[in-house]
Structure 1
Amino acid sequence: MEDRFKAVVEFNGQHKQAFFGVFDGHGGPKAAAFAAENLYKNIVTEVEKTGENNITEAIKQGYLNTDAQFLVQDHRGGSCCVTALIRDSNLVVSNAGDCRAVVSIGGIATPLTSDHRPSRPDEKLRIESLGGYVDCSHGVPRVLGSLAVSRGIGDRSLKQWLTAEPETQVVKILPDFEFLILASDGLWDKVSNQEAVDLARTFCVSNDKLEPVLACKKLVELSLSRGSVDDTSVMIVQSLDRFL
């Protein structure tokens, strides 16, 4: 199991401020463990340094700093990341790799990230413009025929083509925002966005007894029942309107 996660609530004395992340390691767990421990600290440092007006740039720098710090340690492997920073009634979601964030808005699944895979036309073009190539191995497009994701922290041997720069989306939290699902591709390769929301909603919204942990377990079980053999991590952040 190479996945890791992080949840930090009410940090810096702010009860409406929180950070959540899921980290999908490959080639060993060290990059995922490092990102889980350090990424949120680096993001918060950059946000406090640059201020609210440039939060996207602050998060980008937090990711890049974490990547640089991990590479200095000379460990092998890498990690995909998806993070959610909740601050000032905003939901700020970032990803590097194929971990994904999906929010339920009145029961409708709305993806907040786009998977970074070599098959994505803009990612393929970026890799080729840097002198790399995308080749299929066992039917899966891979960077230099090796890695099936095109962004992430670590992966020293592919760093020339594999960036840690995230894509970030900032959305204002509205009253009909129900819950947020953060998960590694072990879930999303077998379960659609809407299927995940429909199943989770049974335990997170339409129930007198809210059971988000059970919802996470049910989602993992559904992925397994459909043949997933990948590490699978699921995190649900419920009652988003409490951060308003």
Structure 2
Amino acid sequence: MVSEGNLVVSNAGDCRAVMSVGGVAKALSTDHRPSRDDERKRIETTGGYVDTFHGVWRIQGSLAVSRGIGDAQLKQWVIAEPETRISRIEQDHEFLILASDGLWDKVSNQEAVDIARPLCLGTEKSLLLAACKKLVDLSASRGSFDDISVMLIPLRQFI
């Protein structure tokens, strides 16, 4: 959400918001994974357990995300409460990438910015869609079988 020159990012799960600041990737959210110390402790404090299966941390041997909507059988440990970050939009804040873990599991924050930036600095919406498609195609070509959803938001219009 953008309000009065502020960018408000809330996240619960493993989608991520990354901003291009003068071409440098800046993560505005942190993935909610059971491997995070704070998330693991929260889960264990409420009687749940976290373990690994084939190198992936999971809650109750099942879910690999510690916050989200749904998963009724795990509601005691998987909460929907988001983490929120508010940033003032500055002149060097170029664009925001909002994407699902299908992208971030195969493409780093900086690589995504580097690929999208040449197409995002113009004013043509068709180039924004082309940048989204380029990121989706890259992740798929690297073997992502997860949902790959990508959205790009130019930020300079809000200054």
TM-score between the two structures when normalised by the length of structure 1: 0.63
Which whole-Å deviations, capped at 9, do the CAs of 1:94-151 have from their partners, x for residues lacking one? 1001100000011010000000000011100000000000012232110000000000
What is the aligned counterpart of 1:178 among 94, 98, 103?
Answer: 94
Q: Is the 8 A contact 1:104 1:179 kept in 2?
A: yes
Q: Which runs of 5+ in 2 are unaligned?
A: none
- Equivalence for 1:100: 16
Secondary structure at the aligned position of 1:154 is classed as coil
What is the aligned counterpart of 1:190 among 93, 106, 114?
Answer: 106
Query: Partners of 2:46 and 2:15 in 1: how far apart?
Result: 24
1:1-244 equivalences in 2 (<5 Å): 85-205=1-121, 211-238=127-154, 240-244=155-159
Query: Partners of 2:111 and 2:25 in 1: how far apart?
Result: 8
Query: Partners of 1:204 and 1:243 in 2: how far apart?
Result: 15
Secondary structure at the aligned position of 1:142 is classed as strand
Secondary structure at the aligned position of 1:119 is classed as coil
Which whole-Å deviations, capped at 9, do the CAs of 1:128-184 have from their partners, x for residues lacking one? 000000012232110000000000112111000111110000000011111000000
Provide runs of 4+ in structure 1 moved above 3 Å: 207-210
Query: Partners of 1:162 and 1:204 in 2: how far apart?
Result: 35
Secondary structure at the aligned position of 1:215 is classed as helix
Query: Partners of 1:227 and 1:234 in 2: how far apart?
Result: 16
Tell me the CA shift for residue 208 of structure 1.
7.7
Same amino acid, percent of matched pairs: 65
Query: Partners of 1:219 and 1:104 in 2: how far apart?
Result: 15
What RMSD over aligned residues (CA atoms) do the two structures have, in Å?
1.2
Secondary structure at the aligned position of 2:117 is classed as helix
Query: Partners of 1:189 and 1:235 in 2: how far apart?
Result: 16
Tell me the CA shift for residue 216 of structure 1.
0.2
Secondary structure at the aligned position of 1:168 is classed as strand
Secondary structure at the aligned position of 1:153 is classed as coil
Q: Which has the higher contact order (CA 8 A, sep 6+)?
A: 2
TM-score between the two structures when normalised by the length of structure 2: 0.96
Tell me the CA shift for residue 201 of structure 1.
0.4
Tell me the CA shift for residue 209 of structure 1.
5.2
| Aligned length, in residue pairs | 158
Q: Is the 8 A contact 1:137 1:146 kept in 2?
A: no
